[in-house]
């Protein structure tokens, strides 16, 4: 039988179209709430870009925290292999976040000035999820919690995260569990302070890299950490570059020095021994 006009656009008979008693795509994803959460405070066209970039980034950050938490738990339990897929996923998500700065960079300085005053003192500096990611990766900072004191429940949860071992602390514990010598001062340190390089940790990682066949899982873990550490640095650098392109040397909306502050952040590495050992291999 010949097809009539529009036949190619007809739904297949098996397709469900009645969702009075079933969950639809929009219901499952709560799209009404998500897509109605963009509230411009100005009439400027590009404020929508600014809002959506940051909201989308926060969703990706939520997934990063989901994966980092599970990966850390697996490493602490001595199950390294399940963590590898999770850390690979984190690196892919980070690439998405890095690319988001390229989209935001289409916002010109004059466009941004049209609505910047509407932001008040709000700033990406206050992203609690970004802080939790940094904590999870070992960049601990008690002072940063001051900006969350107006939200007691959030403040308490962030304080708890500050006092938990990072994924790097968990990895160092895995080195010790395999019989590699790690100073007790590292294994029993105050988790709330930023990690400092240690010669015993560097020596242990060197042993792993020089005997990959016997320590393949630890070697794979190290390289996964290098991946997420370098991607986080790319994100930081692109953040700094985008801010510099849009506001130059102006102060940040949250009161920071802006680009000068972000440049200092870029200089703070993750997992230090995994970088310094490369000159000794």
Whether 182 has a binding-site annotation, put simply, is no
Alpha carbons 207 and 188: distance in angstroms, whole number: 22
Instruction: Flag whether 34 is marked binding.
Output: no
Q: Terminus-to-terminus CA distance in the chain, angstroms?
A: 72
What residue has token string 């590699």? 180
Is 112 annotated as a binding-site member? yes
Q: Is 51 annotated as a binding residue?
A: yes
Q: Report in angstroms the alpha-carbon separations of 145 from 20, 132, 154, 156.
A: 46, 11, 10, 10
DSSP assignment of 154-173 equals: HHHHHHHHHTS--HHHHHHH
Confirm or deny that 54 is annotated as ligand binding: yes
Is 236 annotated in some ligand binding site?
no
Residue 188: name the closest of 176, 204, 205, 203 by CA: 176
Q: Which of 32, 53, 76 is nearest to 169 (CA)?
A: 76
Q: Specify whether the CB–CB gap between 89 and 110 falls below 8 A.
A: no
For residues 239 and 234, what is the distance between their CA atoms, to the nearest angstrom? 8
To the question of whether residue 207 is assigned a binding role by annotation, the answer is: no
Residues flagged as binding site for substrate: 50-54, 112, 116, 253
Annotated binding site: 50-54, 112, 116, 239, 253
**Residue stretches of the annotated binding site for heme:** 239
């Amino acid at each position: 039988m010949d097809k009539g006009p529009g036949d190619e656009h007809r739904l297949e008979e098996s397709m469900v179209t009645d969702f009075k008693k079933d969950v639809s795509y929009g219901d499952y994803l709560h799209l009404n709430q998500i897509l109605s959460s963009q509230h411009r405070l100005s009439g400027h066209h590009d404020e929508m870009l600014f809002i959506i970039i940051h909201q989308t980034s926060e969703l990706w950050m939520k997934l990063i925290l989901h994966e980092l938490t599970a990966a850390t738990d697996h490493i602490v339990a001595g199950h390294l292999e399940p963590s590898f897929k999770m850390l690979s996923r984190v690196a892919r998500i980070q690439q998405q976040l890095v690319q988001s700065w390229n989209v935001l960079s289409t916002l010109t300085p004059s466009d941004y000035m049209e609505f910047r005053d509407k932001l008040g003192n709000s700033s990406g500096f206050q992203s609690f999820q970004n802080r939790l990611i940094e904590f999870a990766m070992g960049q601990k900072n008690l002072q940063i919690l001051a900006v969350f004191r107006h939200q007691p429940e959030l403040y308490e949860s962030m304080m708890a995260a500050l006092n938990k071992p990072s994924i790097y602390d968990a990895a160092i514990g895995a080195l010790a569990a395999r019989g590699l010598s790690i100073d007790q001062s590292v294994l029993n340190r105050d988790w709330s302070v930023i990690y400092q390089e240690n010669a015993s940790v560097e020596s242990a990682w060197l042993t792993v890299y020089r005997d990959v066949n016997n320590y393949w899982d630890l070697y794979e873990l190290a390289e996964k950490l290098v991946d997420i550490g370098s991607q986080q640095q790319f994100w930081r650098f692109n953040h700094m570059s985008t801010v510099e392109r849009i506001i130059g040397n102006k102060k940040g909306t949250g009161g920071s020095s802006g680009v000068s502050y972000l440049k200092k952040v870029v200089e703070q590495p993750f997992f230090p021994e995994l970088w310094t050992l490369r000159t000794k291999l």
